[in-house]
């Protein structure tokens, strides 16, 4: 199928915009790759330290004749999605030995659970943890004894941070190894109902806790289509997973077999073999465009609008909000997974999943097929489905028809003609809105502003009965410079109740919303942020705001904002408590949300 002109044009625009930075990056990677296997440049003493604890593998490592895999793990048993990784290193070491190689844990990286910190002080470290993860992985790989790397990570900031590290060490191959989603529990719409009842006082904390525990109930990724599962989708669309690896449940024979297969493949694509596939050749402009198309086609998390530009920047590729907008207007929405629908990711996977979706988009010319992936050449490999046959992974053609058109549809019959993500701009600044779960009659909201500086203040005003009219809730001083840009997911039940009462309600913020937020129109990531002098800091109570997702407008009507000064907020409390002291330099040096809110890129 001929590539769609918009896909081609956006790719060319990115390539042209990135020409200088990408060339510098590729020249660096080529020079590093030309040095050959890394261990050859270490002294005997250097190597002896690296191999001292490797037991029977020491001789092979010292001889330098077999490839050595570096494992970067985000294991901890506080994250359900990462708990399965506890046993992966030994599985990988055994698989590497059996395939004639070696493997070592190169290092661990921190891994926060946004579900634990949601609405808490710790959430103010969440976005910054992405850059810490990149730094931590870089420290692990800096020992320079690895011919390829396996990354064990799943959740919100972990995969983006690991990708930033992987492209920085892009002269060696890397494969991402997932752990899979937990099996289905309490339906997500039922959980949302109980949360709204708690917000209005219709049920107590005991009922709320029972619902939450029934929803988050075992090892694996949370089953809604938030940031964590959007990450997994991206790794397939961008060719960094093995095909079909994303949504296989933990602790199953197929899950372990895919980990073994990933290990074997990581050995095959090193410079010592005949299929050398460094990350720098996999993650190019086409791969990032494929990832953005996947984001739109699945109705994925808005957090990736922050992460993808940062990930790309590490590879010398410059993405802009206009790229997301153009691809969204061209890409049909093919999936309905909570919060965009009632199904969870297990239902999505059973209906045909990513393999079916990639097949549909390739056939429509909406994806680049001519890409390198960790599995080989061509994204068409990712239309195949892995099966465990007599203990080995075998690939078969995936389904060509959706197995449930309430969850997954073909390009010819999408849920929506567009991906549901729109760039907003106007006298308030630039931002984005995700409308794939927003009812069409709420795509345009015009109402007076009510301005707040914390999400707690919004909740207090609601409980006091102050929010009973059509309102655009403005929550500012929530950007990366202010307080690390925490998610404001805790507002979702309150705003949803207001909306369900028949009010016109919208949110405008320089902060983030969770990847699980959806049905309330929300203009997020507004840039410049209030703490950086942005116009959002000039809005006053009662100003008439128009949020127009149809035409991409975000404006205060009838007011000359240039004539006003930016409001002042007391941010002194943002720098201490729960580790915030350690991140002062991050708040001072972080870039704007429009370019990924990066610190190290």
Domain with 452 in it: what CATH number?
Answer: 3.50.30.80
Span of 38-47, 286-295, 456-465, 472-481 with lowest mean pLDDT: 38-47
* Residue-level pLDDT at 515: 60
* Residue-level pLDDT at 517: 63
* Residue-level pLDDT at 212: 73
**Measured at the alpha carbon of residue 168, what is the angle toward residues 162 and 174, in degrees to the nearest 5?**
60
Count of domains forming the chain: 3
Mean of the per-residue pLDDT values of the chain? 94
Q: Is the pLDDT of residue 36 over 90?
A: no
Q: Is the pLDDT of residue 273 over 90?
A: no
In this prediction, residues 204-231 reach a mean pLDDT of: 83
* Residue-level pLDDT at 420: 83
* Residue-level pLDDT at 124: 93
* Residue-level pLDDT at 284: 98
Q: What range does the domain containing 234 cover? A: 5-183+218-397
Give domain status of residue 405, yes or no: no
Task: Answer yes or no: do 127 and 192 share one domain.
Answer: no
Give domain status of residue 83, yes or no: yes
Give domain status of residue 408, yes or no: no
In the structure, what pLDDT confidence band is assigned to residue 499 with cuts at 50, 70 and 90?
very high
155 is in an annotated binding site: yes
Task: Answer yes or no: do 360 and 244 share one domain.
Answer: yes
Nearest to 230 by CA among 133, 305, 341, 280: 305
* Residue-level pLDDT at 48: 83
Task: Answer yes or no: do 516 and 552 share one domain.
Answer: yes
* Residue-level pLDDT at 186: 73
Is 118 or 309 the better-scoring residue by pLDDT? 309
In the structure, what pLDDT confidence band is assigned to residue 430 with cuts at 50, 70 and 90?
very high
End-of-domain residue from the set 193, 211, 229: 211
Give domain status of residue 549, yes or no: yes
Q: Is the pLDDT of residue 40 over 90?
A: no
Task: Answer yes or no: do 239 and 326 share one domain.
Answer: yes
113 is in an annotated binding site: no
Task: Answer yes or no: do 51 and 105 share one domain.
Answer: yes
Q: Model-level pTM?
A: 0.94
Do residues 258 and 235 touch, judged by C-beta distance below 8 A?
no
Give domain status of residue 504, yes or no: yes
In this prediction, residues 23-51 reach a mean pLDDT of: 89
Task: Answer yes or no: do 469 and 503 share one domain.
Answer: yes
Give domain status of residue 455, yes or no: yes
* Residue-level pLDDT at 227: 92
Nearest to 227 by CA among 161, 138, 151: 161
Give domain status of residue 407, yes or no: no
In this prediction, residues 526-553 reach a mean pLDDT of: 97
- Percent of the chain at pLDDT > 70 equals 99
At which residue do the structure tokens 């058109």 appear? 405
Task: Answer yes or no: do 190 and 337 share one domain.
Answer: no
Do residues 436 and 338 touch, judged by C-beta distance below 8 A?
no
Task: Answer yes or no: do 372 and 245 share one domain.
Answer: yes
Give domain status of residue 576, yes or no: yes
Task: Answer yes or no: do 198 and 222 share one domain.
Answer: no
* Residue-level pLDDT at 220: 93
User: In the β-sheet with 68-73, what is the strand arrangement from edge to edge?
Assistant: 102-108, 68-73, 148-152, 174-177
Task: Answer yes or no: do 205 and 279 share one domain.
Answer: no
pLDDT tens by residue, 335-390? 999 888 889 899 999 999 999 999 999 999 999 999 999 999 999 999 999 999 99
Task: Answer yes or no: do 195 and 271 share one domain.
Answer: no
In the structure, what pLDDT confidence band is assigned to residue 474 with cuts at 50, 70 and 90?
very high
Task: Answer yes or no: do 169 and 270 share one domain.
Answer: yes
- Coil, strand, or helix at residue 433? strand
CA torsion sign, 344 to 345 to 350 to 355?
Answer: positive
SS3 breakdown of the chain: % helix, strand, coil, rounded to 5?
45, 15, 40
């Amino acid at each position: 199928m001929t590539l769609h002109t918009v896909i081609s044009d956006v790719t060319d625009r990115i390539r042209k915009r990135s020409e200088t930075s990408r060339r510098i990056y590729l020249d660096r990677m080529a020079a590093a790759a030309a040095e050959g296997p890394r261990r050859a440049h270490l002294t005997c003493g250097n190597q002896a330290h690296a191999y001292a604890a490797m037991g029977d593998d020491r001789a092979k490592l010292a001889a330098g004749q077999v490839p050595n895999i570096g494992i970067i793990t985000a294991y901890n048993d506080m994250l359900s999605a990462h708990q399965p990784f506890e046993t992966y290193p030994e599985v990988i070491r055994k698989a590497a030995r059996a395939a004639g190689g070696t493997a070592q844990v190169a290092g661990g990286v921190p891994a926060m659970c946004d579900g634990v910190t949601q609405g808490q002080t710790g959430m103010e470290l969440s976005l910054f943890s992405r850059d810490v993860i990149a730094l931590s992985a870089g420290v692990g790989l800096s020992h320079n004894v690895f011919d390829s790397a396996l990354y064990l990570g799943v959740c919100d900031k972990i995969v983006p941070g690991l990708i930033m590290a992987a492209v920085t060490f892009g002269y060696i191959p890397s494969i991402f190894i997932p752990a899979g989603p937990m099996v289905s529990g309490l339906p997500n719409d039922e959980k949302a109902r109980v949360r709204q009842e708690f917000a209005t006082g219709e049920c107590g904390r005991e009922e709320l806790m029972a619902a939450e525990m029934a929803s988050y109930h075992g090892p694996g990724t949370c089953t809604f289509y938030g940031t964590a599962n959007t990450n997994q989708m991206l790794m397939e669309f961008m060719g960094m997973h093995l095909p079909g690896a994303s949504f296989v449940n933990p602790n199953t024979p197929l899950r372990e077999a895919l980990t073994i297969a990933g290990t074997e493949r990581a050995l095959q694509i090193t410079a010592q073999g005949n299929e050398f596939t460094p990350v720098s050749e996999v993650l190019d402009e086409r791969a990032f465009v494929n990832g953005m198309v996947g984001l739109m086609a699945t109705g994925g998390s808005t957090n990736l609008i922050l992460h993808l530009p940062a990930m790309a920047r590490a590879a010398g590729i410059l993405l802009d909000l206009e790229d997301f907008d153009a691809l969204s207007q061209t890409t049909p929405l093919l999936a309905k997974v909570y919060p965009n629908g009632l199904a969870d990711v297990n239902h999505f996977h059973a209906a045909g999943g990513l393999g079916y979706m990639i097949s549909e988009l390739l056939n429509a010319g909406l994806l680049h097929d001519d890409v390198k992936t960790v599995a080989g050449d061509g994204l068409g490999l990712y239309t195949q489905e892995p099966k465990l046959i007599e203990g080995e992974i075998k690939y078969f053609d995936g389904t060509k028809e959706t197995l449930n058109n309430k969850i997954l549809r073909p390009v010819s019959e999408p849920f929506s003609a567009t991906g549901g993500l729109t760039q907003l701009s106007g006298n308030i600044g630039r931002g984005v809105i995700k409308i794939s779960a927003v009812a069409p009659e709420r795509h345009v909201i015009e109402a007076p502003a009510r301005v707040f500086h914390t999400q707690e203040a919004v909740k207090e005003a609601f409980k006091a009965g102050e929010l009973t009219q059509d309102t655009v809730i403005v929550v500012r001083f929530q950007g990366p410079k202010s307080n690390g840009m925490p998610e404001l997911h805790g507002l979702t039940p309150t705003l949803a109740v207001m909306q369900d009462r028949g009010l016109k309600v919208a949110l405008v913020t320089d902060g983030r919303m969770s990847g699980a937020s959806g049905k309330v129109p929300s203009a997020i990531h507004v840039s410049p942020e209030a703490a950086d002098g942005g116009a959002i800091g000039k809005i006053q109570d009662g100003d008439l705001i128009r949020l127009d997702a149809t035409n991409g407008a975000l404006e205060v009507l009838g007011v000359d904002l240039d004539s006003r000064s930016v409001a002042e907020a007391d941010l002194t409390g943002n720098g201490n408590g729960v580790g915030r002291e350690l991140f002062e330099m991050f708040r001072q040096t972080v870039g704007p949300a429009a370019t990924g809110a990066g610190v190290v890129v």
